[in-house]
Copies of this chain bind each other. A is one copy, B any other.
Amino acid sequence: MSEDRRLDVLRAIVEDYVATKEPVGSRALVERHSLGVSPATIRNDMAALEEGGYIAQPHTSAGRVPTDKGYRLFVDQLSTVKPLSSPERRAIGTFLENAQDLDDVVDRAVRLIAQLTHQVAVVQYPSLRRSALRHVELVPVGHRHLLVVLITDTGRVEQRTLELGADLDETVVARLRSRLNVSAAGRRLSELPVALGELTDAFAPADQVLVNAVVAVLEETLAQESEERVVLAGTANLARVGSSDVRAIGPVLEALEEQVVLLRLLSEMAEDSATVAVRIGRETQHDGLFETSFVTTGYGDEGGGSVARIGSIGPLRMDYPGTMSAVRAVARYLTRILAQ
C-alpha cells in the first residue's frame, strides 16, 4: 500500500468534497481522478486514512469527509498554489489604486476580499503601536475640554477627548502643541514614551498638570491594543445557498461581532511563521467558529513585521488554495498602496 497514493487520495477527497459539497465515495473518486487503481483499493486507503484521523464518515454507509486534521495536512503539504487570473490581478490593482484616504483603502480592500473569496472578509486597521506619528493636534472644546487628535503615517486619525480640572490657557496649549510635534513627528509610537518623558520639564509647574494629562492620553491611546479596529464585509456570503448548515450561521455572526475574538485570532496568527496563516475549525479555539476556517496574512511590512492583517473566513469546506492566494495578492497590493 503506497504511502504516496494515500496522500493523493486525501488530496482528491478534499478537492472533490470542496467542489461537490457531498461526501465522496470510492467509486466517484476513481472516476474523477486518474488514480490507476480500483475502488476496492481506494477503500483500503480510505480505511487507513480514517484510522489516522484524516477523514471520517457522516454515517456508516456514506462517503468520506475530511476532518480538521485532514484539511490541515492538505493545507500544509498537499495544496498547490493557485495563481489568480490576470484579469483578477488587474481588477485588484485598479480598484485599490482609486482609493482616496485610509478609510477608503480599507473599505475597498475588505470588499475586494469578500468578492474574490465569496466569503467573509476581515481587514484590520494599521496598528497604532507599529505606526509612526505624523502630527498631533490639540483643539480646545469649551473651557475645560481638550480634543487630542493624532495622525499616523499610515493615514490613520485617532481622537480622544480630555477633561481638565482647570480652565484652559490658550498659549500653553499652543506651546505644547508645537513642542509635541517637534519631538514626536516621525517617531514610531512605541518609541514615544521616552521622547515625551522629557517634555514635562520644559513647562512651568502650574502647567505641568495639563502637559501630563495630554501625555498620559497619548500614551494610553497608543498602548491600547484593544483599540485595534477591524472591518468586515461579505457577511451575506455566510447565507449563500450551499452553506452546510444554514442554522449554524448564528453563532458565526455572533463571533464576528465580538471583535475581541477576531483580534485575538489575528494577533495569534501574527506569530505564525508561514506568510499566510490558516486556522482550521476547532483550531480557532472558539465555539462559534468550529465549522469555520480563517485564512490571514499581514500587510504593510516595511522591512520587518507587518502593520496589520487581512483575511477571509469561510466554511471548513473552503477553497484553501484560492483563498490563500487571493488574500496574499490583496495584501501585496495593499502594502504597495500604503507605501504611497
- Chain A residues with CB under 8 Å of chain B are 100-103, 134-135, 137, 139, 141-142, 147, 149, 151, 155, 157, 159-161, 233-236, 238-241, 246-247, 249-251, 253-254, 256-257, 340
Contact = CB atoms under 8 A, between A and B. Distances in A.
Contact of A253 (B101, B134, B238): B238
Given A135-B139, A139-B151, A149-B151, A161 B247 contact: no
A241 B234 CA distance: 22
Q: Is the interface of A mostly helix, strand, loop or mixed?
A: mixed
A247 B238 CA distance: 11
Nearest to A257: B236
B134 A141 contact: yes
Given A135-B139, A139-B151, A161-B155, A235 B247 contact: no
A259 to B, nearest CB: 10
Nearest to A258: B236
- Residue among A157, A160, A256 with the most chain B CB within 10 A? A157
Nearest to A253: B236
Contacts of A251: 236
Nearest to A157: B159
26 contacts: A100-B160, A101-B160, A102-B159, A103-B159, A134-B141, A135-B147, A137-B139, A137-B149, A142-B340, A147-B151, A149-B151, A151-B159, A155-B161, A157-B159, A233-B257, A234-B257, A236-B251, A236-B253, A236-B257, A238-B253, A239-B247, A239-B249, A239-B253, A241-B247, A246-B246, A249-B249
Given A100-B160, A241-B250, 6 more contacts: A101-B159, A101-B160, A157-B159, A238-B253, A239-B253, A241-B247
Nearest to A238: B253
Given A236-B254, A239-B249, A249-B239, A100 B161 contact: yes
Given A151-B147, A157-B159, A250 B240 contact: yes
A340 B101 CA distance: 30
Nearest to A155: B161
Contacts of A257: 233-236
Contacts of A160: 100-101
